[in-house]
Amino acid sequence: MNKRLMIIFLLALTFSLAAGCGQKGEDLGGVSGKKAQIDDVVISSSGSYVDAIQWNGSQYIKSDKKVTGENIGIKLGEIKFKILGSGKPSDYKMQDGDAVFLEPGTVVYQVVGSENIAVKGENGWILYAKFN
């Protein structure tokens, strides 16, 4: 329980710092400089989930930053496994190709000029910021 509360606190602090430290005109962003890891898929005692992807040994968190089609690079691959609804326990360790909410087959793209990735959503591109 304490570990989960600490993770929630660190995520909130990280996102607060990232939001306050952006440069003028910056439209892409991530959680940089942090070497934490999302150990549990469930991150709160209330059972809420973080929207995350595990890709090539790194974890990415859904960002509210905007990304446009001109920033989208090459196709990296596809989501292989959706955790939500799979029956996996809350302490399941994410594997490469896993996503919490995205369906298998969702295409993952490189974001040009950053370490972030993106997927195509119903209303445009969705940015996932590199977390570790």
Domains of the chain: which residue ranges? 2-130
Average pLDDT of the chain to the nearest whole number? 78
Which uninterrupted H or E stretch holds 17? helix 2-20
- pLDDT(34) > 50: no
Percent of the chain past pLDDT 90, that is, above it, reads: 58
In the beta sheet, which residues pair with residue 99? 53, 82
Stretch among 5-19, 50-64, 108-122 having the lowest mean pLDDT: 5-19
- pLDDT band at 61; cut points 50, 70, 90: very high
The string of pLDDT tens digits covering residues 70-93 is 999 999 999 999 999 999 887 889
Tokens of 22: 């952006």
Angstrom distances, CA of residue 97 to CA of 56, 68, 105, 107: 8, 23, 10, 10
Q: What is the pLDDT of residue 72?
A: 98
Q: Model's pTM, two decimal places?
A: 0.69
Tokens of 52: 């995350």
Q: What is the pLDDT of residue 25?
A: 36
- Residues in contact with 44: Cβ distance below 8 Å, sequence separation at least 6, in sequence order: 4, 8
Q: What is the pLDDT of residue 27?
A: 44
